[in-house]
Structure 1
Amino acid sequence: MKTLLKHLQLISFLLAVSLGSSCTKDFDKLNTDPVRVTSVAPGSLLAPAQFDGMWLITRRAHRLNNEMMQYTVETGALNDFARYEFKENEFDPIWTTLYVKANDMSEMYKSAEQRNDVNNMAAALVMKAWFVSNLTDMFGDIPYTEAFRGRDDLLYPKYDSQQSIYTSILADLKKANEIFDENKAFETTDLIYSGDIIKWKKFANSMRLRLLVRVSNKSEMNAPGQIAEMFGNPAKYPLIGSNDDEAMMRYSGTKPFINLFLEMAAAEFSGSRRMGKPLMDMMNNTVDGRRFRYATRNTPGAYVGIPSGYDEQQTIAFADNGGLKTSTLATTLKGGSYPFPILTWSEVNFLLAEAALKGWITADAQSYYNKGIEASWKQWNCTWDGTAGTTYLSRPTVRFTGANANMERLIGQKYIAMFFSGFESWYDYRRTGYPVLPKGPAVKNNGILPTRFEYPLITKATNKANYDAAAAKIGGDKLTSKVWWQN
């Protein structure tokens, strides 16, 4: 029997060949088993991991997160996700691809460490933390300590607790900030920052802030204290501070570095999807200037979404809207050079607004809330200057003052801003309960929006004893079981 890692690499390769969406031929030399690659420069492993990992998260968010969080509603025969129904093998591509990419970053770190290449070491830690945090936030306890030891022929890696995984990746992000060195070379192929070390440090600290807020309900993590330490020492812990700093996958528009939605059939991307009613209603009620970036107009020229969680025939009728039709995803999102976010200035501002609102830092929550909205508008290239911004912030359903300065309003605006930002809105929903999303009469799963994904078939088949123990620990491998950081 092969190791779990070898199984994962084989399946990931087969998926790439059959689907044509994981790797491109231009990455062939780099997408080999890094356990056996000893001569390749560490920095050359970065771009393939960024590209494949980002596409996996973006593609699966388009398919799953957008449906669960009612950004969109699938109207065709495969609209099961809006009803909380998933095929048994639905989550296998997420597991396999993110594990392989995390392993690549583990090997990149080891190779860079042998050369005392601190900047590639740090970049590997940041990217691995991103991949692993998504894995554990989706599934809960996962193999970690023993998962990246392919050379040791570990056949059955144990599942680590989510708490221990978070402790490790938070420490890695702190270490990355410490070892990035502007005075040393950073020889790398970098699709996010083109080797800008200052921006990488801001990315590392901002991701640490994101993850600390995620586990802030767990007193044993002392997240408020760590956030206060970071906030109080910006020279040591710089954060993303402008749209220019944010971690974006800025595709060149020339193969292989293109937004792969470009190659997706229009019917698959948006043809059978309609915009979700909660998102469109929130944006219509405030005359949100980002609507044209997110959605198309219907026949009379309005932005109209449809409710989620109904059966197929009802959903089709909602989409038709008496012949007036309803909004779909904006066609510009399919552009070959259209950038998609990993971690934005908008998100950082909303994280700091929450920290201020809860008293973890001494700061004005309203100021960061307003900056979060402004940053989002600018991220989407919408007009903010002049009276546009002040008019929007003064609207009664937007204004963040008095009794309206609360988590529901903050997360509601963050939900709008996190459109096409991976699975972040789902993680926020599970942590806070916001935004409040209506549930249609055809939803399954006891009417509960999934609180995690079920473990994939690959781990059930290759690591059954450890899988069984992990499933028993959470009360069963179910969509309704909660991960450690959820209340």
Structure 2
Amino acid sequence: MKLNNNMKRYRSGLLVAAAALVTGMSACTKNFELYNTDNTGVTDGQLGPDFNSLGLYLKSAQMSILNFSGGGDPNSYQVQQNLNADCFSGYFMTPNPFSSSNNTNYGLVPGWNGEAYKVGYLNVMSPVAKLQKSGIDKNFPAVWAVAQVVQVTAMSRVTDIYGPIPYSHVGEGGSTVPYDSQQDIYKQFFLQLDNAAASLRAQINGGAALPFDFSGFDVVYSGNFAQWLRYTNSLRLRLAMHISKVPAAAALAKSEAEKALDPANGGIITDNADNMTVKVLGDFTNPLVFIAKNWADIRIGASIQCYLTGYNDPRVSRYMDKATDADPALKGKYVGIRIGSQVDKPKYQTYSSLNTEDGANPAFNLKTSMQVMTAAEVYFLRAEAALNGWNNAGGSAQQLYEQGVNTSMAQWQVSAPGYLNNDTSVVATYVDPKNKDNNFTIKNPITIKWNEAASPAQKLERVITQKWMAMFPEGQEAWTEFRRTGYPKLFPVVNNKSGNTISTDLQIRRLPFPQNEYNTNPATVADAVKLLNGPDNGGTPLWWDTRQ
């Protein structure tokens, strides 16, 4: 990673006023900026006693986890996540062809592939470094703890897209920053969470009152440090599970998970009131909703639609609207688009979209908070911990699996009597009324009801399938869990334009390093490629992705 001091190029009055993000010019022509670019427009001299700039930096970092945008311009989110992980996860597919070869059919677009990298350094690492420079790590350690947890949240997503990234040496000066292996990055994440949790516990257990209203700076938990601690422990559990299938990291995964689950450390998320969601305030909009509703550039994926309709799952009406197409085979039905389909926007934008229209109280609107982690996900993490035989899971795998399902139903305000006793319904066959070549049937589909006599693989498949259904619409973590476990069974791309670098069956494993890195820092990125398990393409698995 090569640094520069172009401090003014991307400053914007909108971002100064609202602590926002740099979004670039268009979905297909992104410009890269690097770590030490200041995207808030706040100078060091403004880090004064009114603490306003502290709030700007902290808000910017929180909002950048899922990359908010203002002024009706969610281009950056679109290529950071929506046309990547959101589609790779089976949740969404675009009706817009953009070009005949793009990320949704594995013809990876260099201008899209680097957006998550840019956002991580420009909009998270840079503001957090500014916060440390202001002295909050020493003066207000609990606030610094929140900043560290936000950084780990955001940068764990970045490394889970690319693998090795610059991390431990970022901010130390010099013209280049080396990449760390993903194994070393995860170890640093756990150390940062150790420090953050200790500071949060100290604040909760009698720390000095802050000389400012922290709730005004916190767009997640409104200044509640106990909730931040529960999220910190839950994040540790998530990251521990990510690495649990790596033989050399199995002991670390177990110890970190058991630390997260130990009640003495402050607890984990167990209730939907503690869900980690980022509020949408001021002139900002929920970018996923904007892209679906205002641009009609994203629609429901065939995989999530077929699981929900096949299982007769009541969450279907909260996740998606019915198709509006005039064709009787579509109109009034839940029908998604299969990833990698050859699409035409006028034809396919009438397929099911996010639930913004149907029902008395649609689940999504332009001010819906952005979801990062839910109580349901944590119950499923605990169910897997129980399957692994780890301590402190707090119940049997079956109990935690069923609590996860029920907690998700409660989150989405639906009732599902008899759902957990259903041992016959399976994922539906996908039928595309406009192109039979897209039709597909999942082989050996899993059912809903827990079966204690099932094999370990079948038990894990049930846990991860329901976890995936509960995490909607957050595609980044869903894609990670699919790569890690191979579950749920997702429909493969119809058209694979990767040039044989990505397996249609195993599906995409990562994004290549940004082209900007090759252009500006070829020696360092060449060293980074050596840290991979293969060439720098979408078919090379990450360190924690042991699935063959």
TM-score by length of 1: 0.86
Between the aligned partners of 1:288 and 1:129, the Cα distance in structure 2 is 34
User: Hey, what does 2:305 align to over in structure 1?
Assistant: 280
One-letter amino acid matched to 1:278 = S
User: Hey, what does 1:369 align to over in structure 2?
Assistant: 401
Contact 1:295 1:329 in 2 (8 A): yes
Shift, 1:227, TM fit: 1.5
Shift, 1:199, TM fit: 0.3
> CA distance change for structure 1 residues 173 and 478 in 2, over 3 Å: closer, same or farther?
same
Shift, 1:73, TM fit: 2.3
Contact 2:384 2:460 in 1 (8 A): yes
User: Hey, what does 2:3 align to over in structure 1?
Assistant: 4
1:466 to 524, 529, 541: 524
Q: Is the counterpart of residue 98 in structure 1 residue 126 in structure 2?
A: no
Contact 1:141 1:159 in 2 (8 A): yes
Shift, 1:350, TM fit: 0.8
User: Hey, what does 2:81 align to over in structure 1?
Assistant: 61
Q: Is the counterpart of residue 240 in structure 1 residue 262 in structure 2?
A: no
One-letter amino acid matched to 1:81 = N
Q: Is the counterpart of residue 398 in structure 1 residue 398 in structure 2?
A: no
Which stretch of structure 1 is more off in the superposition, 154-163 or 433-442? 433-442
Between the aligned partners of 2:248 and 2:93, the Cα distance in structure 1 is 39
Between the aligned partners of 1:393 and 1:132, the Cα distance in structure 2 is 36
User: Could you give the per-residue CA deviations for residues 74-127 of structure 1, whole angstroms, max 9, x where no partner exists?
Assistant: 233227333112211112221111112123113323434464211111111101
> CA distance change for structure 1 residues 37 and 133 in 2, over 3 Å: closer, same or farther?
farther
1:266 to 279, 288, 293: 293
Shift, 1:36, TM fit: 7.2
Aligned residue pair count: 461
User: Hey, what does 1:434 align to over in structure 2?
Assistant: 487
User: Could you give the per-residue CA deviations for residues 203-232 of structure 1, whole angstroms, max 9, x where no partner exists?
Assistant: 11111111010011234432112222332x
One-letter amino acid matched to 1:310 = S
Between the aligned partners of 1:259 and 1:282, the Cα distance in structure 2 is 25
SS at match of 1:239: coil
User: Hey, what does 1:204 align to over in structure 2?
Assistant: 232
> CA distance change for structure 1 residues 430 and 260 in 2, over 3 Å: closer, same or farther?
closer
User: Could you give the per-residue CA deviations for residues 28-51 of structure 1, whole angstroms, max 9, x where no partner exists?
Assistant: x98136777643733442112212
Between the aligned partners of 2:44 and 2:177, the Cα distance in structure 1 is 17
Between the aligned partners of 1:465 and 1:290, the Cα distance in structure 2 is 49
Q: Is the counterpart of residue 161 in structure 1 residue 168 in structure 2?
A: no
Contact 1:70 1:82 in 2 (8 A): no
2:471 to 418, 433, 437: 418
User: Could you give the per-residue CA deviations for residues 209-263 of structure 1, whole angstroms, max 9, x where no partner exists?
Assistant: 11010011234432112222332x31324101200111111324xx235424565
Shift, 1:452, TM fit: 0.9
Shift, 1:306, TM fit: 3.4
Q: Is the counterpart of residue 179 in structure 1 residue 199 in structure 2?
A: yes
1:383 to 414, 439, 463: 414
Between the aligned partners of 1:113 and 1:267, the Cα distance in structure 2 is 40
Contact 2:230 2:267 in 1 (8 A): yes
TM-score by length of 2: 0.77
Between the aligned partners of 1:458 and 1:96, the Cα distance in structure 2 is 10
Contact 2:96 2:297 in 1 (8 A): yes
Between the aligned partners of 2:337 and 2:528, the Cα distance in structure 1 is 38
Contact 1:106 1:124 in 2 (8 A): no
Contact 2:169 2:178 in 1 (8 A): yes
> CA distance change for structure 1 residues 258 and 244 in 2, over 3 Å: closer, same or farther?
same
SS at match of 1:135: helix
RMSD value, Cα: 3.1
2:385 to 347, 355, 371: 355
Between the aligned partners of 1:374 and 1:298, the Cα distance in structure 2 is 28
2:58 to 23, 28, 46: 46
User: Hey, what does 2:545 align to over in structure 1?
Assistant: 486
SS at match of 1:85: coil
What's the % identity of the aligned pairs?
27
One-letter amino acid matched to 1:423 = Q
Between the aligned partners of 1:471 and 1:209, the Cα distance in structure 2 is 28
User: Could you give the per-residue CA deviations for residues 442-465 of structure 1, whole angstroms, max 9, x where no partner exists?
Assistant: 123333422111111222222221
Shift, 1:8, TM fit: 9.4
Between the aligned partners of 1:281 and 1:98, the Cα distance in structure 2 is 33
Contact 1:43 1:120 in 2 (8 A): no
1:75 to 86, 95, 114: 95
User: Hey, what does 1:346 align to over in structure 2?
Assistant: 376
> CA distance change for structure 1 residues 10 and 436 in 2, over 3 Å: closer, same or farther?
farther
Between the aligned partners of 1:304 and 1:49, the Cα distance in structure 2 is 36
Between the aligned partners of 2:287 and 2:420, the Cα distance in structure 1 is 35
User: Could you give the per-residue CA deviations for residues 292-313 of structure 1, whole angstroms, max 9, x where no partner exists?
Assistant: 1211113542212233333347
